[in-house]
Structure formats: structure tokens, C-alpha cells
Amino acid sequence: MSENGVTARRSKVLTIDTMNATVKKVEYAVRGPIVQRAVQIEKELKEGAKKPFTEVIKANIGDAHAMGQQPITFFRQVLALCSYPELLKDGNFPEDAKHRARRILQGCGGESIGAYSGSQGIECIRQDVARYIERRDGGVPCDPDNVFLSTGASDGIVTMLKLLVAGEGRSRTGIMISIPQYPLYSAALAELGAVQVNYYLDEEKCWGLDISELQRSLEAARQHCNPRALCIINPGNPTGQVQSRQCIEDVIRFAAKEDLFLMADEVYQDNVYADGCQFHSFKKVLFEMGPEYSNTVELASFHSTSKCYMGECGFRGGYMEVINLDPEVKEQLSKLVSVRLCPPVPGQALMGLVVNPPQPGEPSYTTFMKERTGVLSTLAEKAKLTEQILNTVPGIACNPVQGAMYSFPRITLPERAVKEAKEKGQAPDMLYCMKLLEETGICLVPGSGFGQRDGTYHFRMTILPPVDKLQILLSKLKEFHQRFTQQYS
Amino acid sequence: MSENGVTARRSKVLTIDTMNATVKKVEYAVRGPIVQRAVQIEKELKEGAKKPFTEVIKANIGDAHAMGQQPITFFRQVLALCSYPELLKDGNFPEDAKHRARRILQGCGGESIGAYSGSQGIECIRQDVARYIERRDGGVPCDPDNVFLSTGASDGIVTMLKLLVAGEGRSRTGIMISIPQYPLYSAALAELGAVQVNYYLDEEKCWGLDISELQRSLEAARQHCNPRALCIINPGNPTGQVQSRQCIEDVIRFAAKEDLFLMADEVYQDNVYADGCQFHSFKKVLFEMGPEYSNTVELASFHSTSKCYMGECGFRGGYMEVINLDPEVKEQLSKLVSVRLCPPVPGQALMGLVVNPPQPGEPSYTTFMKERTGVLSTLAEKAKLTEQILNTVPGIACNPVQGAMYSFPRITLPERAVKEAKEKGQAPDMLYCMKLLEETGICLVPGSGFGQRDGTYHFRMTILPPVDKLQILLSKLKEFHQRFTQQYS
Ligand SMILES: Cc1ncc(COP(=O)(O)O)c(C=O)c1O
Ligand SMILES: Cc1ncc(COP(=O)(O)O)c(C=O)c1O
């Protein structure tokens, strides 16, 4: 063999210079440098390193169970029964849990959750989703054929965006997203090579959405791309606002007038805490506006098992409902989802339970309601606590956390800190959050990871830590902010 | 309001003409028109329609549980324990199952499988995967940092392809895939806009892979694109062959010489039936070839919970191992997978059990081995049965089913049938399979869905139906083929 020297001759096929350039542009702050450093610090602590703190408190990601929230008993009982159907003979499991498990198993090939399901999801679960939507929306009809189960909401959102992206140059698809935004959107748009069209939420008006700002953003975008869709997150991540019915109606009217496809990210639909606030689904409002709108405006709405009161992120369950989708496009959507075979069946099962929980009179009802209410009222308490304490700190201004799981307070940073960050090529709130992590063990995400108006600085903090830890976190944060401000003044 | 007439004015934002054009090009035969018609026929039967058969037999997809294969008891016990940890107190569960469940739960945030995991997968499971690979490959070292858990193998494959796609026009990335192929590859390449570079397996040599054919294919491709990766499926889908050690060595040498990134789809690594055949992993062979190769050739290898003896498709578990991946590219890969947050945790747990099953001396060992051996020996029996019976039919020629779960026999079709199909704008084997379905209820996938040499016709049939049903299927198929041949002669 005369192949000596292969080693010397050969460089890598795949390098940073020869890889997919659009992938390189993707950014994802929720799991960015701060989180990587936090993981490292945790390791250092384990190995006995001395730090001014003994544990890292993660308030960077909406991951309820990781923060100690307990799963809903009924859901987990049914999942255990589906996983190991021998347990259907076990007298310790309530009858309603067994009934749900049998129903799910009957919807599976070979009555096993180990079989691939239809790509759109298990039929009986899609039916349950449809009935849930009808109940939620006061009877507005929902066709199970319009429901696509997904691998978390993330999957549904990316799939829908993928269908929308077309054209080149000035006719390239633009997608309007709120700033601050949940970075899945910017990451997906970068990967798909779509144009990100920013519209700003109004911090002065509790992160409200203003139609004139939508109009400004749209008109500016039309100069250089073809804006085709408008994404809304309600209740909001990272900003925690809950939109009024009037606002939703205005947005729908705007989308109709401007020929925009609506994408409503409603994964926090049960997470509403503030007095006077209420969740209104885009679909319900659309149908209340009459056939002129309900027969024409194209809408995709997304839900997930990851948030609300269940917080079951690891199962990667979710669904999307499509309304007024062109039938040919729907066929293409069905084909596209079939390539990945199917969403995870345990996640489908869980989504099925979320939309069809224990009913009054069933043996698990009381416990279920107690657990559900417990989680939601604790979240409401923590939302209030967070807002109140943060607003006692000079240089921190926090809007009410009306819903979702986050506060997004504005922080005033001394000029010297801003200068130092710029010299380091860092966003000023990244410098702030990194210092906070190193000095206190608190892990937040800088506002720059979500987008914000130039010259303003924020961080996103989840309200998920248990109340006692949250209190510690908030008082450490307060101390840190004062120290940081002094140090740089 | 002066918005009357909105209805009349407004056409759809998203139509077949304005949607993503690359998505339109995607094809996915395994869930194509035949399967859609099969689902419809099942509904018709349920509603009482009279047909020449009473049930649809699905041999179109490698979905073992749907065909009645039972799950491995130990795996499902652990999954039930992880889902509902109250069961850890239940004396009916074996200690080794509880031990595994505890280990998995300790790897999860908040000790709940409902928490998001790290995007690369749960650390202790990645360690178990690494140890499994080391055992499998006779001690070749495996770094858990090179292991990425995935949402089925599909997810890993698409992610790796995504990194590889770059360039425009003549420098656009080409990806070499075997023909016949598993249509995930062509679908993903179409969606990513990469150039599909076909190399043909040699039907005369039991679907063997020939280096001169690789060379031909590569040189032809270099005229119009930049071929950068070579995908191999071993054991093969749809063709059921198992590659010899020599062949794998030749392929690696070829990849090294020609600067190709290797992608080894090894999801059927336990599915080897034929005497004299054995599974050799690409990684093991690579390392046996010495540092000249093992230090340079870039390789990604894929595995899944969906196949082998477990057949747990619904859980969407899988992993990929990357070898010699450029560190900067690995960082980009980590970032890319973080956008989707994490693979489904129940699927991760299952993958963890597959790589770390009960050991000799543990309470579940005997049952586990009995179940595992039972499934694999039944599959071996069905592989032989399928080949033997098909080869008794004049006009059907079937290579030995050495491994995987499929036979891909060649069928001779009368000229009149070919002509009729062409007049209908249909692939001739699609016409054949559609008629087969309508007349017998048997659901297969036409060879044209996988690619085949021009002028040859095939179908893919899984060997998964239970032995008695498989026998009925094969004899019905035999009858049908004879009838079809007569009818068109
Ligand atoms: C607004 C919003 N949409 C979508 C998601 C994705 O959630 P998942 O994919 O876990 O369902 C999240 C997760 O935090 C979110 O906050
Ligand atoms: C060769 C091959 N690769 C990959 C897959 C994908 O499997 P999964 O995504 O279920 O792991 C399959 C499924 O049939 C296959 O046959």
C-alpha cells in the first residue's frame, strides 16, 4: 500500500469555513455562554472549589421541574400505565387513570406506545385536542384534521416557518417578530435564511403591542423584503405581558388588511396571574369578529406540554392548530412532517392528558385540581414577589409579571460599565449577568439575547425557583446591583 | 368600519405557488400514496365495505410493535418507574429496574424526566452510550463528549447533513447515497437543497457495495457539484444486505483518499441473520486500520431505539457519535441542537437502557436475554421464510435477507403493465403495489420510492408480520403475482 502520508495531506472535510454558513449565524441565548459558564461553575463547586456561594441558582430557563415543581400525579400515573401495561392489573391505580391509558393504547399500533404513530399524531388524541379547543373557545368548532401534534411547540413553530420561507433578494420572505423575542424565532429564521422583521413592544405600556409600531415595522420591511407572517407570543416570553382582547382584535384586523399569516404562540395560555388579565386565544377572537375574518385570515396556533401548570418539558409534547390553511399547503405540511416519522408518543400521550384531564366526579379529579391550583397560585405569588422586590432596587424597573414565567426588568448601567463592556466586545448586560453569576451563583439571561431597544439593558429572570430560594435570589440580586453600580460609578 | 369586501379582496397568503419551493420537492415513499390508500381502505372496512379481504396487512414500514412484537419487559418497567417514581416503593418491581430508574432520575433536573435535559442529552446516559460503544468495538475508546443523543436516528442524520451543506452552483455540497436508499436521505437533501449523488448497490452481488461504482459516481458528480460526504446504511435498508469487514475497509480507504466525510447509518446493528455475516461498525474498522486513518477520517455514526430487538419507534430515541469532528464545528453542532432544547427524555432513557441492559447475575437478566433472543431468532426465521417463498415465484427474484428488516425483491413486469403505468404517469411498480393493495389488502412500498436502476422494478416488504400472517401474506402475494402476470400477458 502506498498510502503513507495520508495523514499529512489530509485536512478536515468539514471546518468552520466550509460548513453551512446559515447555521453559523444562528444564536440561542437561553443556552448561551452564561449557561455554559454556569454548568462549569457547578462542576468546580462539586470538585471543591471555593466560591462566594455554595450553589448555582438557575433562573435562566422556563424549566419548572428542574426548579423543584412536582409533576401532576394523574398524568404520571397514566404514563406509567401506558409504559408498562401490566400495571393495568394493579389495584393501586385509580380507574380513571386506567381508562385514559387504555384509550391511548387503543390509539397506538399494536396497542404499544413503542409503535410509530401517524405523522400528524394519534387520531384519538387529535380529537381530544379539538374538543379542548372548542371548550376553551366557547364552542368555536375545531376540526381534528387541522391539529398536528408536534415535538414540543418548537417543532411546530419551525415547521410552519419552513413552509413560509420563499423568494430571493427583495422578494425574500420576511417574518415579523416582537422585540424582545423568544430566541427560537431568530434562530429558526437565521437557519431558514428568512428576513427577521422586528417590531418593538412598548416597555412604557407594560410591554404592550401597538398597531402603529406594527405598521412602521411592516412598511420599513417592505423596502427590502416580502413580509408574509406576523408572530405573536401571548402571554409573552420574555416580557410576561398578557394581551387584551382589544389588542388581539386590532392585530387580527391588521393582519387581514396587510395580508399577513398569523402565528400565535400560546404556550403560556394557563399562565395568567394579574387581576383584570385574562387569556384570549387568537382563534376565539378571530371567530368572534365574524366570517369576514374567520373565513379568510390564516392562523397557526401553538401549544405545548412544557409550560402552564404541568411544566413537562422533557416529554417534548405539543400541538399546532392551523386555520384557513390552503388545502394544498396542508398536504405539503402532512408530507413534510412524515419525513420525521412521528412526534414522540409519550409526549403525544401527555398532550392528550393535558387536553382531557380528570373530570368532576372522576376519582382523580380532586387531587388533580388541588395540584393544578397549587402550582398556578404559587406562580402567581412568585410573579408578584418578583415584581415587588425588583422595584425596590434603585436602577431596576420591572413591569408587572401579568403572565408566563418571566420578568424582564430594565436595568440602569453606569457609563463606565457600558464602556468596559464595549471595549471587551461584549453586550453591557452580558457583562452584568456574567459578573452576577461569578459573584453570586445566580444564572440569568442578558436582555441582549432577546433583543431590546438600543441603549436599554435588561435581563430575563424566571419566577420558577421555590419561594424561599426566590427570596434569597432576589435579595442577592439587589445587593449585587447596588455593589455593581457603586463599583462602576 | 369600512372594511367590507375584505373577503372578496383577500386571497391566501400561503399557497402552493408561494410556499417554500424546496419543501415541495421533498418525497417520502414510506408514507406515500400507497399508505394513504391503505389507511382509507381500513376505514372502509370498518364501515362495512365488502372487499376480497378482511384486513389490511401492513408490511410497508419497519414498525415492529405495530406488527405485534412485544416490548422488552425490563425497559418498560424502568420507564414506568421513571414516569411515576412512587412505584419505586412497589415490591413487584425488580431491584435492577429500580436501580436503573434511580440512576436516570438522578441525571435529570429536579430528578424528573419532565425537565429539559442538556441539549446534547443526559450526561450519565451519554457515558453509558460511550461504554457500550467501547464494548461493542473491542475496546476502541469513546469519549461521551462525542455522543449526541437525538430524537430518533432521523434527527441526528438530518442535523449532520445540515452542517455539511454549503456553496452554490458547481460548488454546492453533494452527498453520496446508496441506491436503493432509505428515503429520509433524499427527502432531507431535497429540503436542504443539497445535491443528491447516487451510487448503485449491486443487485447481482447481493446488494454489495463496489468501490469502482463509488469512484464512477464521485467522478460524475464532480462535474457539477462538490461531493463532500458518503452515506452508508449497514445493515441495509431497503436491501437487507450486511457488509463484509473488507468492504468497510475499502470504503474507509476510499473516503480518506477522496476527502469524504463518512456517515454510517447503523440503526440495524443487532439485526444480522445470515450465516457467515457479522456486524462490523465503521468506527471499529477505522481504528483497526491504524492512526493514519483513525486520526483523520471524519465519521458520524447513528443508532436508534426503533430497530434491533427492541423496536421502540414511538419513543424517538437515538444517538450519534462523531469522530474526528473539527472542534469548532462541534461547537456549532452543540449550538444548533440547543435551539430545539433537548431530545425527548423518555427516548433518552430508553436509549440508555438499550446500551446498558441487565447484566449476568442481575434479577432481570434471564428474562431479558430470553426476550431479546426470542425476537432476534424469530426475525431470522422470517428473513429466511420470506426469501425462500418469494424465490419460488416465477418473475420474483429475492436476494438473501442477511440483516435489517426488509426484503427488496426484483419483479419482472409484463410489457403491457409497464405501458399502462406509463400512460397513467405512474411508476410501474407503483401500479403493481396499488393493485396488490386493492385486491389483497397487502401494503408494500414500490421500489421506485427508494430508487433503482432504470428499467428494473422492485418492492420493499418488511419481515415483521407474525409468522402465521407472514405466511398468508407471502402466499397471497404469490397468487397475486401470477394473476397479475397472466392478466397483462
Ligand atoms: C414562547 C415560547 N414558545 C415556544 C417554546 C418552546 O417550548 P417547547 O418546545 O418546549 O414546547 C417556549 C419555551 O420556552 C416558549 O417560551
Ligand atoms: C436506515 C434507517 N435509518 C434511519 C431510520 C430512522 O429511524 P428513527 O428516526 O426511528 O430512529 C430508519 C427507520 O426506518 C432506517 O431504516
User: For A366-380, what is the mean pLDDT?
Assistant: 97
From B201's Cα to the closest Cα of chain A, the distance in A is 23
Q: In angstroms, rounded to a whole number, what is the distance separating the alpha carbons of residues A325 and B455? A: 40
CATH architecture of the domain with range A21-68+368-487: Alpha-Beta Complex (3.90)
3-class secondary structure per residue, chain A: CCCCCHHHHCCCCCCCCCCCHHHHHCCCHHHCHHHHHHHHHHHHHHCCCCCCCCCCEECCCCCCHHHCCCCCHHHHHHHHHHHCHHHHHCCCCCHHHHHHHHHHHHCCHHHCCCCCCCCCCCHHHHHHHHHHHHHHCCCCCCCHHHEEEEEHHHHHHHHHHHHHCCCCHHHCEEEEEEECCCCHHHHHHHHHCCEEEEEECEHHHCCECCHHHHHHHHHHHHCCCEEEEEEEECCCCCCCCCCCHHHHHHHHHHHHHHCCEEEEECCCCCCECCCCCCCCCHHHHHHHCCHHHHCCCCEEEEEECCCCCCCCCCCCEEEEEEECCCHHHHHHHHHHHHHCCCCCHHHHHHHHHHHCCCCCCCCCHHHHHHHHHHHHHHHHHHHHHHHHHHCCCCCEECCCCCECCEECCEECCCHHHHHHHHHCCCCHHHHHHHHHHHHHCEECEEHHHCCCCCCCCEEEEECCCCHHHHHHHHHHHHHHHHHHHHHCC
Q: What is the reported pLDDT for A31? A: 66
C-beta A267 within 6 A of ligand 1: yes
| ipTM for the whole predicted complex goes beyond 0.90 | yes
Give the pLDDT confidence of A329-363 residue by residue, as tens digits: 999 999 899 888 899 999 999 999 999 999 999 99
* Protein residue closest via CA to atom 14 of ligand 1: A62
| Residues β-bridged to residue A410 | A397, A458
The rounded Å distance from CA A267 to ligand 1 centre is: 7
C-beta B154 within 6 A of ligand 2: yes
C-alpha cell, B260: 469524504
pLDDT band at A11 (very low <50, low <70, confident <90, very high): confident
Residue B305: pLDDT over 60? yes
Q: What is the reported pLDDT for B30? A: 66
**Structure-derived torsion over alpha carbons of residues A411, A416, A418, A424, reported in degrees to the nearest 10:** -140
Find the farthest-apart pair of alpha carbons in chain B and give their distance in angstroms, rounded.
80
pLDDT band at B31 (very low <50, low <70, confident <90, very high): low
3-class secondary structure per residue, A231-263: EEECCCCCCCCCCCHHHHHHHHHHHHHHCCEEE
Please name which ligand lies nearest the alpha carbon of A354: 1
CB pairs under 8 A between A and B: 312
Give the residue, out of A239, A267, A463, with the most ligand 1 atoms within 8 A of its beta carbon, to mutate for a pocket test: A267
From A14's Cα to the closest Cα of chain B, the distance in A is 7
Residues 6+ apart with CB under 8 A from B326: A12, A14, A15, A16, B298
Q: What is the reported pLDDT for A339? A: 85
Query: Mapping DSSP to helix (H, G, I), strand (E, B) and coil, where does residue B166 land?
Result: coil
Residues of chain B contacting residue A186, judged by C-beta atoms under 8 Å apart: none
Contact A80, A353 (CB under 8 A): no
Give the pLDDT confidence of A50-104 residue by residue, as tens digits: 999 999 998 998 999 999 999 999 999 999 999 999 999 999 999 999 999 999 9
Query: CA of A70: which chain B residue's CA is closest?
Result: B112
Please name which ligand lies nearest the alpha carbon of B150: 2
Q: What is the reported pLDDT for B11? A: 86
C-alpha cell, A47: 470538585
Instruction: Please indicate whether, in this complex, the C-beta atoms of A328 and B15 are within 8 angstroms of each other.
Output: yes
- Cell 370498518: give the residue: B46
C-alpha cell, A16: 468552520
| Atom number in ligand 2 closest to CA B154 | 9
pLDDT band at A27 (very low <50, low <70, confident <90, very high): confident
Residue B314 has its nearest CB partner, among A81, A117, A184, at A117
Domain ranges of chain B: 21-68+368-487, 101-354
Q: In angstroms, rounded to a whole number, what is the distance separating the alpha carbons of residues B152 and B188? A: 15
Residue A237: pLDDT over 80? yes
Query: Mapping DSSP to helix (H, G, I), strand (E, B) and coil, where does residue B178 land?
Result: strand
CATH number (3.40.50.720, 3.30.930.10, 3.40.640.10, 2.60.40.1180) of A101-354 reads 3.40.640.10
C-alpha cell, A382: 412568585
pLDDT band at B28 (very low <50, low <70, confident <90, very high): confident
Q: How many residues does chain A have?
A: 489
Percent pLDDT > 90 in chain B is 89
Contact B229, B261 (CB under 8 A): yes
- Cell 429466511: give the residue: B384
Q: What is the DSSP string of B58-118?
A: E-SS--TGGGTPPPPHHHHHHHHHHH-GGGGG-TTS-HHHHHHHHHHHHTSGGG-TTS---
Instruction: Please indicate whether, in this complex, the C-beta atoms of B31 and A119 are within 8 angstroms of each other.
Output: yes
C-beta A178 within 6 A of ligand 1: no
Mutate to test the interface with A, among B249, B341, B350 (most CBs of A within 10 A): B341
Q: What is the reported pLDDT for B144? A: 97
Higher pLDDT, A147 or B22: A147
Please name which ligand lies nearest the alpha carbon of B188: 2
Q: What is the mean pLDDT of chain B?
A: 94
Residue B255: pLDDT over 70? yes
Q: Does the CB of A8 have a partner CB in chain B at under 8 Å?
A: no
* Protein residue closest via CA to atom 13 of ligand 1: A62
User: For B113-130, what is the mean pLDDT?
Assistant: 96
Query: CA of A294: which chain B residue's CA is closest?
Result: B7
Contacts 24+ apart (CB under 8 A), B106-112: B108/A65, B108/A314, B108/B345, B109/A63, B109/A65, B109/A66, B110/A65, B110/A66, B110/A67, B110/A68, B110/A69, B111/B85, B112/A65, B112/A66, B112/A71, B112/A314
Q: CA angle, A160 as apex, A158 and A165 as ends, to 5°? A: 90
Residue A154 has its nearest CB partner, among B30, B162, B340, at B340
Instruction: Please indicate whether, in this complex, the C-beta atoms of B191 and A339 are within 8 angstroms of each other.
Output: yes
Percent pLDDT > 70 in chain A is 97
For the ranges B12-26, B284-298, B318-332, B349-363, which has the lowest average pLDDT? B12-26
* Protein residue closest via CA to atom 13 of ligand 2: B62
Q: In angstroms, rounded to a whole number, what is the distance separating the alpha carbons of residues A57 and A38? A: 9
- Cell 425537565: give the residue: B115
Q: Does the CB of B84 have a partner CB in chain A at under 8 Å?
A: yes
Residues of chain B contacting residue A162, judged by C-beta atoms under 8 Å apart: 20, 23
Q: How far apart are the first and last CA of chain B?
A: 71
Residue B69: pLDDT over 50? yes
Q: In angstroms, rounded to a whole number, what is the distance separating the alpha carbons of residues A120 and A130? A: 13
Contact B2, A252 (CB under 8 A): no
For the ranges A366-370, B36-40, B74-78, which has the lowest average pLDDT? B36-40
Q: Does the CB of B447 have a partner CB in chain A at under 8 Å?
A: no
Instruction: Please indicate whether, in this complex, the C-beta atoms of A154 and B336 are within 8 angstroms of each other.
Output: no
Q: What is the reported pLDDT for A371? A: 98
The rounded Å distance from CA A239 to ligand 1 centre is: 14
From A253's Cα to the closest Cα of chain B, the distance in A is 9
| Residues β-bridged to residue A461 | A407
Query: Mapping DSSP to helix (H, G, I), strand (E, B) and coil, where does residue B355 land?
Result: coil
Residue A283: pLDDT over 80? yes
The rounded Å distance from CA B267 to ligand 2 centre is: 7
User: For A155-161, what is the mean pLDDT?
Assistant: 96
Q: CA angle, A335 as apex, A333 and A323 as ends, to 5°? A: 25
Q: What is the reported pLDDT for A29? A: 67
Residue B6: pLDDT over 60? no
Give the pLDDT confidence of A415-445 residue by residue, as tens digits: 999 999 999 999 999 999 999 999 999 999 9
Give the pLDDT confidence of A452-474 residue by residue, as tens digits: 999 999 999 999 999 999 999 99
